[in-house]
Structure 1
Amino acid sequence: MPETTTVVMDDGVRLNVKVLGQDPTVRKPLLISLHGAPGVSTLAEPESSFGYLSDRYRVLVFDARGSGASDKIGPFTHERWIQDIENLRKWAGDETFILAGASYGGFVALDYAVQHGARLRALVLRDTWANGRLGSMNALASILTSKRISVDVDRQVRLWSGTVLNDQDHALALQEILPIFTPPTDVQTAAASTEQQESTEFQGSVAFYSATQNAAFAENMPRFDVRHLLKEINAPTLVVVGRHDAITPVSCSQEIADAIPNAQLEIFEFSGHSPPSDEPEKFEQILSDFLQTVVH
């Protein structure tokens, strides 16, 4: 297994990075995958989802600044996270690459695609949305009306508005909604043959950084709206979503796929917020077929 390495950004911040599929004898295409859940998720999520591609691609995964083992030094903005992607692309030595973004990582990936579309050989979006204010409000409404979970209403409002009190408040808010990230029990039973795995969203050693979460949802989300810019994304795009995703529902992915000129939408009928873990075999096949078609 490859070890993680530290890559220093232009402002001195150190990012925790891992590259799967390095081969000095073969120059493989580069794929950079962004994790979701700022301040809690890590490179373990994209490594689990995309690691199987390492025989054909160099798969670069990393803890975004403010998450995991990377420095907790801001700013925690899309602009800064996009510059970090550019720094990693240059560090890897590639002019063009495949970009994948899951959940919140999809927001950053969309912003990157709008600003640096010429760099992209392909774009992969998993369970995401194109408008921050509406998306976060709808996610909160879905949580507060769900019959599957019982939550502290004030705490959930703090989570989705970026006003969590501290790291413990952040942890409690996420822990009480974990069941909603997976498909309902009857759907899981019906899909037993798909060999569902543990959700990738919060894999690995979990640590909570409320400052990253608060910046993401108090500052970034109100300003994030790329709906009118999606038509400018020319990269071949795969949009993936779980039918039972309560956080970023099918309608959000449909909106994105309808607006991007060269987009393919795949709905996973037995999945919640994480098709790579809910229906791993189907996810791997669809992703492999897409990349084989668009990356030469």
Structure 2
Amino acid sequence: MLTSLLTAEGVRLAVRQGGTAGPAVVLVHGWAQSGEVWSHQLADPSFRAYAPDLRGHGASDAPEDGYGDSAVWAGDLRTVLDHTGPAVLVGWSYGGLVIADYVRFHGTADVLGLVLVGAITEIGRGRPGGATGPAMRAALPAALAEDPAVAVPALAEFYEHQGRFDGPTRQWMLGTALRVPARVRGALFRRDVDSAEVLRAVDKPTLVVHGTADEVVDPAAGAHAAATIPGAELRTYENTGHAPFLEHPERFAADLATFMTHTAGVTAPAARTAEVGR
């Protein structure tokens, strides 16, 4: 089910919803993707799952500005939590930074727990929580270009290095990225955000999941988050790329279910598989 939420500044956010019972989990996608990437989690009936399209992505509005402002990202996620109620927040890639933005301005009162998946939590030169891998560095700046003759090859190569999953999934991810305006793809990188104090203040259960073969976000970024957030657990997926929930959907489903059991009293479901974006 796809619903639409209106932020305080009048930006419409598209939100996919799955499940009808249990506590809420809010799934925040990464740069140049959409909430569709969480299809497996949206199909899990053991909790209420909500997957927003970030501003400028998917079916959400793409305003001209706001992409460089942590308060704006925090406000967008606040709009989603006003709709869902207290929730476990799951952030993949850039989604981890959006969650850090939220905690910076709104704290953890409505946060049941955090799950960071191949995530950055800060951004800017020399920020350890924003360390990128060779695939991300190789894609820039061409992947941000207005000229499709420049951007398309760079993005196609970028999605070849996401992880070991099938060609149709990589093509779907490429198509999703190309729906994001180039001005938005670029604006998300024009930020300088230090989140060390934010992470140290997190007082909710936290799970950090990172593939050891992630070429987009360096595993060091996940290790930094796990070391900085009090009591956080770091779970590494060996020989796994940037999207563990796509490369190993059954294992990730089991890990998320276990985390939900411990943080929100959800009974762990049987593992199953689902296609992404279809």
Alignment TM-score, normalising by the size of structure 2: 0.82
- Aligned-partner Cα distance in 2 for 1:97–1:144: 30
Q: Counterpart of 2:19?
A: 21
Counterpart pick for 1:166 among 122, 146, 151: 146
Report SS of the residue matched to 1:217. coil
Aligned match of 1:99 in 73, 80, 89? 89
Contact 2:112 2:264 in 1 (8 A): yes
Superposition map of 1:200-219 within 5 A? 202=173, 205-206=176-177, 207-218=179-190
CA distance, structure 2, for counterparts of residue 57 and residue 199 of structure 1: 28
| Distance in 1, Cα, partners of 2:50 & 2:171 | 17
In 2, the alpha carbon distance for the partners of 1:33 and 1:196 equals: 24
Q: Does 1:31 align with 2:12?
A: no
C-alpha change, 1:18 and 1:117, in structure 2 (3 Å) is same
- Judge conservation of contact 1:199–1:277 (CA < 8 Å) in 2: no
Equivalent of 1:263, from 232, 238, 248?
232
Measure how far apart 1:10 and its partner are. 1.7
The SS at the match of 2:145 is coil
Pairwise CA RMSD: 2.8
1:99 touches 1:109 (CA, 8 Å); kept in 2? Answer: yes
Give how far 1:60 is off.
0.8
Q: For 1:272 and 1:255, how far apart are their aligned partners in 2?
A: 18
Please name the residue that 1:8 is paired with. 6
- Supply the distance in 1 between the matched residues of 2:17 and 2:83 (Cα, whole angstroms): 11
Give the alignment partner of residue 210 of structure 2, picking from 216, 238, 241.
241
- Paired residue for 2:117? 126
Structure 1 pair 65/144, CA: closer, same or farther in 2 (3 Å)? closer
Match of 2:140 in 1: 156
> Could you give the per-residue CA deviations for residues 232-256 of structure 1, whole angstroms, max 9, x where no partner exists?
1111001000110012122211111
Query: What runs of 5+ residues in structure 1 fail to find an aligned partner?
Result: 146-150, 189-194
Check whether the contact 1:44–1:204 (CA below 8 A) recurs between aligned residues.
Answer: no
Cα distance 1:272–1:200, how it changes in 2: closer, same or farther (>3 A)?
A: farther
User: C-alpha deviations, 1:31-69, integer Å up to 9, x for none?
Assistant: 1111101xx311111233x2243x221111121110111
Q: What residue is the counterpart of 2:270 in the other structure?
A: none
Q: Could you list the per-position Cα deviations for residues 221-274 of structure 1 after superposition, in whole angstroms to 9, with x for gaps in the alignment?
A: xx2121243211111001000110012122211111111112111100131001
Q: In 1, are the aligned partners of 2:73 and 2:102 still within 8 Å (CA)?
A: no
Which stretches of structure 1, 4 residues or longer, exceed 6 Å deviation after superposition? none
Amino acid at match of 1:31: V
Q: Name the SS of the counterpart of 1:118 in structure 2.
A: coil
Maintained 8 Å contact 2:25/2:49: yes
Question: Which of the two has higher C-alpha Rg?
Answer: 1
Which residue in the other structure is 1:148 paired with?
Answer: none
Aligned length: 258
| TM-score, length of structure 1 as denominator length | 0.78
Contact 1:182–1:245, Cα closer than 8 Å, also in 2: yes
Structure 2 segments unaligned to the other structure (5+ residues): 266-278
**Partner of residue 289, structure 1:** 258
Instruction: Tell me how far 1:158 sits from its aligned partner.
Output: 5.0
- Whether contact under 8 Å (1:128, 1:253) holds in the other structure is yes
Is the partner of 1:117 in helix, strand or coil?
coil
Q: Retained in 1: the 8 A contact 2:245–2:253?
A: yes
SS in 1 for 2:173: coil
Question: Residue 139 and residue 34 in structure 1: after superposition, are their counterparts in 2 closer, same or farther (change >3 A)?
Answer: same
Tell me if the contact between 2:159 and 2:173 (Cα under 8 Å) persists in the aligned partners.
no
Indicate the SS of the match to 1:265.
Answer: strand
Matched, 1:275 2:248: no
How far apart in 2 are the matches of 1:279 and 1:259? 26
Mapped partners of 1:264, 1:173: distance in 2: 34
